[in-house]
Amino acid sequence: MVTMCHFTIYCLHNLDTKKENKCPREIASFGVVEIIRKNSVLILVVAIAVISFLHHYTHDPLTVISWDVYGYYLYLPAILKYGDWDNYAFAIEHLNQYYISSDLYQLMDWKGEKAPIYTIGMAVLYAPFYFLSDIVASLTSYPADGMSQPYQWGIVVASWFYMGVGIYCLNRLLEVLKFSWSTRVWSLAAIVFGSNYFHYVVYENGMSHTYLFTLYAILLYYTHRWHTQAKLSYIIICGLCISLLCIARPSEVISLLIPVLYGVYNGLTILIKRHRLVKNFKQIVAFSIVGISVVSIQVLFWKISQGDWIFNGYSGHHFDFLSPHIWDGLFSFRKGWLIYSPVFFIALLGFIQLYREERRWFWALTLFTVINIYIVLSWHIWWYASSYGMRALIQSYAILAIPMALFIRWSQRRKWIGNLTKIFIVLCICMNQFQDWQYRNGILLQDEMNAMFYTRSFLKTTVNKDLRKFIDNPEEYKGGSERKILRNIEIDTVQWDTLINNVPAEIVTPGSYGPTIRINLNEAVEADSWLHGSGNFYTDSEKFTAYKQARFVLSHSRNGENIKWRGIHIQRIIDVGKWNDFGFDFRLDQGGYVGDQIEMTLWNRGPDTMYVNQVTVSKYIE
């Protein structure tokens, strides 16, 4: 990625130099750069598709249609292949035959039948490629069951297609807004390579975000085109994009703000807008008819399959509108948008230039961005489960391209600021690519990140499983290593006749507790004193999940009331098939009073049998 940006700078330098004073070799070099300039979008799209192809080609069998993607996709085989949109019996076959998820959470029980929890929009976007995949499957030896390799590759190719359309439309928009080629290249490079957009367009191709990014790019482009030349086709495309966005993710209804508020920034522009709408009333009606027709696809499906005009597939989930998670969503190390995609600081600064230079876009884009961030980060699962960065904001990157380009253009007029901006973008691209690699190789986790784990994993190139203890317990004693043992339980062959690799062990079956240490303090302990819990553990299976696994617990209670509790998910830390020594530090934040109880145990919440040889509680000597 660094090489690519250096090459871009080289090209820009050559394009800023007059051609007539060059030697033949320089003229030839200029010609190559000119070709690259004219075909830069095509080169970018092909490069991303090739990277994605090389990644997926090494995965046999390919399993793109899995987890959430299967939930978006299952409408297609249900309607077009199996004719089963009541019980979705075919989904059980898919679950048994293909690795789609641990269970069929994509379907919920509803009035004695099954119903998809996701809306139909993504299936509509997948549909053309589903038909092509069906043809390929019927002409080859692959089963035409909606899940074999042609269908998997169909979703990958679909993502490439929509990615190409999105980048093309975004580039065209920036071009008609009079941004130079240099500004457009830096803006697109920042978004595509410097953010988590890259991850979802290259590796997790079926996820909705990059598809919706494309719909926003098209909407922006044709909103501008309609306001400069009110053609019926332009406003119909706008209506199509908004309605598709709505049936893909209902919260995207705020996309209406873009055409509604475009060009509105004072009393006079409100009158001009009103005049335009009245003058083109028939086109507004056509816009509405297109939108309602597309949305009716979902409504009619609900009525036919579930018997209701409106259906909430997210029953049990909710928005925290009164207590949104804005700070966590923007700046936390768990999934903070500006932590994992800091390149968008440029876009946020660009809103100043948006107000100064492109007032016609200002209120549409500003209100959209503010409301979108508020809605996205009001969701009670604000980190959006397993993901790289804040994936729920990816579709809005098309919106942020305009203020980003404005800031870059402004900085290019001031040499030292322009150079700093370019250096910042290159560093963001390098960091994003490296952290994406870390994420894909298990160095950064899919979920539950925090500041201590992130900083300890920063720039690491190998997996250190011991660091994962900081996910559950983000604290560590910084003093010396000398400790006093408070209590120790060691399993020997006199007590137990179970030997694992010639080591005596106590068996801890699923749902039970292992050897437990209970200490009643007989003297007061100062605040901020430190304990250390350690043990020797073994397991020979790994059926555990992220939340269902054994936890090594250390707690402090007073008068029967818990003061502090830490439970380390140790199965994501220890190795299978060998004995593992593991320990972690525990701070007594409030100190300890006489009679307080310290308790340590192994709580086996998972499906795997655990074995324990020794557990110890000790206190650091300060």
DSSP 24-83: HHHHHHHHHHHHHHHTHHHHHHHHHHHHHHHHHHTSSS---S-THHHHHHTHHIIIIII-
Higher pLDDT among residues 267 and 494, named by residue: 267
Instruction: Measure Cα distances from 548 to 340, 471, 543, 599 in Å.
Output: 28, 15, 9, 22
Q: Tell me, what's the pLDDT at 10?
A: 47
CA distance 336 to 342: 10
Would you say 111 and 307 are in contact if contact means Cβ atoms under 8 Å apart? yes
Q: What is the mean pLDDT of residues 349-362?
A: 98
The strand pair at 580-588 and 113-116 is best described as: unpaired
Would you say 552 and 535 are in contact if contact means Cβ atoms under 8 Å apart? yes
pLDDT at 2 over 50: no
Q: What is the DSSP letter of 10?
A: H
pLDDT at 130 over 60: yes
Q: Tell me, what's the pLDDT at 27?
A: 58
Mean pLDDT over the full length of the chain: 93
Q: Tell me, what's the pLDDT at 22?
A: 54
CA distance 430 to 433: 5
Would you say 175 and 184 are in contact if contact means Cβ atoms under 8 Å apart? yes
Main-chain phi, psi angles of 108, to 5 degrees: -125, 155
409-455 residue pLDDT tens: 999 999 999 999 999 999 999 999 999 999 999 999 998 899 999 99
Please report which helix (H) or strand (E) contains residue 224, including its range.
helix 209-228
Q: What is the mean pLDDT of residues 225-248?
A: 98
Using only C-alpha atoms, the chain has a radius of gyration, in whole angstroms, of: 29
145-168 residue pLDDT tens: 999 999 999 999 999 999 999 999
pLDDT at 6 over 70: no
Tell me which residue of 413, 411, 436 sits closest to 187, measured CA to CA: 411
Q: Tell me, what's the pLDDT at 603?
A: 97
CA distance 513 to 615: 13
Q: Tell me, what's the pLDDT at 26?
A: 60
Q: What is the percent of the chain with per-residue pLDDT over 90, rounded to a whole number?
A: 88
Q: Tell me, what's the pLDDT at 499?
A: 82
- State the pLDDT confidence band at 28, using cuts at 50, 70 and 90: low
Tell me which residue of 45, 57, 14, 59 sits closest to 32, measured CA to CA: 14
Q: Tell me, what's the pLDDT at 20?
A: 42
The strand pair at 483-490 and 610-620 is best described as: antiparallel
Q: Tell me, what's the pLDDT at 35?
A: 83
Question: What are the extents of the domains in the chain?
Answer: 477-620
- Please identify, in words, the CATH class of the domain defined by 477-620: mainly beta
Give every CB contact of residue 317 below 8 A, 6+ residues apart in sequence.
379, 380, 381
Question: Whats the size of the chain, residue-wise?
Answer: 622
**pTM of structure:** 0.93
pLDDT at 7 over 80: no
- State the pLDDT confidence band at 99, using cuts at 50, 70 and 90: confident
pLDDT at 619 over 80: yes
CA distance 334 to 313: 26
For residue 394, the tally of other CB atoms under 10 A from its CB is 26
CA distance 149 to 140: 11
581-609 residue pLDDT tens: 999 999 999 999 999 999 999 999 999 99
- State the pLDDT confidence band at 24, using cuts at 50, 70 and 90: low
Of 100-104, 297-301, 309-313, which one has max mean pLDDT?
297-301
Identify any residues that bridge with 585 across adjacent strands, giving them in sequence order. 532
Instruction: Measure Cα distances from 296 to 122, 304, 309 in Å.
Output: 15, 12, 10
Tell me which residue of 216, 226, 125, 234 sits closest to 167, measured CA to CA: 216
Query: Whole-angstrom distance between the N-terminal and C-terminal Cα of the chain?
Result: 48
pLDDT at 25 over 80: no
